[in-house]
Amino acid sequence: MTVKNYYDILGVKKDVSEKEIKAAYRRLARQYHPDVNPGDKAAEAKFKEINAAYEVLSDKEKRRKYDKYGDKWQYADQIEQAEREQAQYQGFAPGVGGFRYSGGVEGLDSIFEEIFGGRMGGFSRRPQARRGRDLETPVEVTLEEAYHGTQRTINLQVEEPCAACKGTGRIQNLPCSVCRGAGVVANIKRIEVKIPAGVKTGSRVRIAGKGQPGYGGPAGDLYLNVKVLPHATLERQGDDLYVNVPVPLTVAVLGGEVQVPTLKGKLALKIPAETQNGRVFRLTGQGMPHLGKSTRGDLLAKANVVLPTRLTEKEKELFGQLGEIRPA
């Protein structure tokens, strides 16, 4: 499957500024938003691509990694760590009867112990156990998923000790043909993760023990970097939700009920008589869950009084009479 270029998805060049990236994202997000294209699966898929591209290119560090490693940018930390570890042994080269060492004597003992995990100076040694590295991966969720909590299947590329050489990188003093002397092999690990209710953009969800496998030690952790996608009608501020509610003029004047959209369904809201345009009603506990707690934020519904249109002659007559009774 061809990997799509994030710059191409946003329709910008690689050297564009952050401002231009943001402008391109806003334009495309408006064009392909599911609310603008209801039922259009192609537009929905394009919208997800646009969000994925913007999530990377709008972040300076992620963009640096993407520019350097392309679609493997999520593994930049692991790649760079492996390069640093490999550089520790670049003084070794194959030689007659084993290795020749081009570096100094200092540190030779620990390097042999690291590579062979065996004998040096007549003493038997064990390789030092090491904890696996932590991994990070971005996750996008809808506001509904952030409200209820959800699950995701994550495909991670992890490095595991090579079984052929037991992580030493060598077999009989020669580079291991399986791992090419690296001591590790890359594998894809598929895991199910739970995303708790109440997460917000910027939340980091820790999945213990699901990171890089260790070398004789425990595995690292996996961190999910959460981004919550915008909602069609509800706006989130902290754990409170805001919504504009259309109120017919007659209901605003005489009182009545209107339906308020929430993430659990619609609620009936009583509108007192003579409600002014812009009045805000607070629905306690109808907002987002507080992460890790049983309490919730509030929903603030703003009354948007809707004036009638296409008046009949009778309605115009009645409004005329009202104008005579209550002149401006």
pLDDT digits (tens, 9 = 90+) for 33-49: 988 888 888 988 899 99
Q: Is the pLDDT of residue 272 over 80?
A: yes
Q: Please determine, looking at this structure, whether the domain spanning 235-325 carries the CATH number 2.60.40.10.
A: no
Read off the pLDDT of residues 195-247 as tens digits, 9 standing for 90 and up.
999 999 999 999 999 988 887 789 899 999 999 999 999 999 999 999 999 99
More confident residue, 98 or 52: 52
pLDDT at position 286 is 96
Whether residue 97 has pLDDT greater than 80? no
Residue 87, pLDDT above cutoff 70:
no
Contact 245, 260 (CB under 8 A): yes
Is residue 51's pLDDT more than 50?
Answer: yes
Instruction: Indicate whether 305 pLDDT > 80.
Output: yes
- How far is C-alpha 171 from the geometric centre of its chain's CA atoms? 41
User: Which tokens belong to 202?
Assistant: 């910027």
Query: Where in the chain is CATH 2.60.260.20?
Result: 132-229, 235-325
State the first-to-last Cα distance of the chain, in angstroms, to the nearest integer: 68
Options 3.20.20.70, 1.10.286.10, 3.40.190.10, 2.60.260.20; CATH of 132-229:
2.60.260.20
**According to the model, what pLDDT value does residue 201 have?**
95
pTM above the 0.85 mark?
no
Going by pLDDT thresholds of 50, 70 and 90, the confidence category of residue 94 is very low
Does residue 96 register a pLDDT over 70? no
pLDDT at residue number 123: 38
d(CA 232, CA 217): 47
Distance CA 236, CA 299 (A): 9
With cut-offs at 50, 70 and 90, classify the pLDDT of residue 180.
Answer: confident
d(CA 154, CA 79): 19
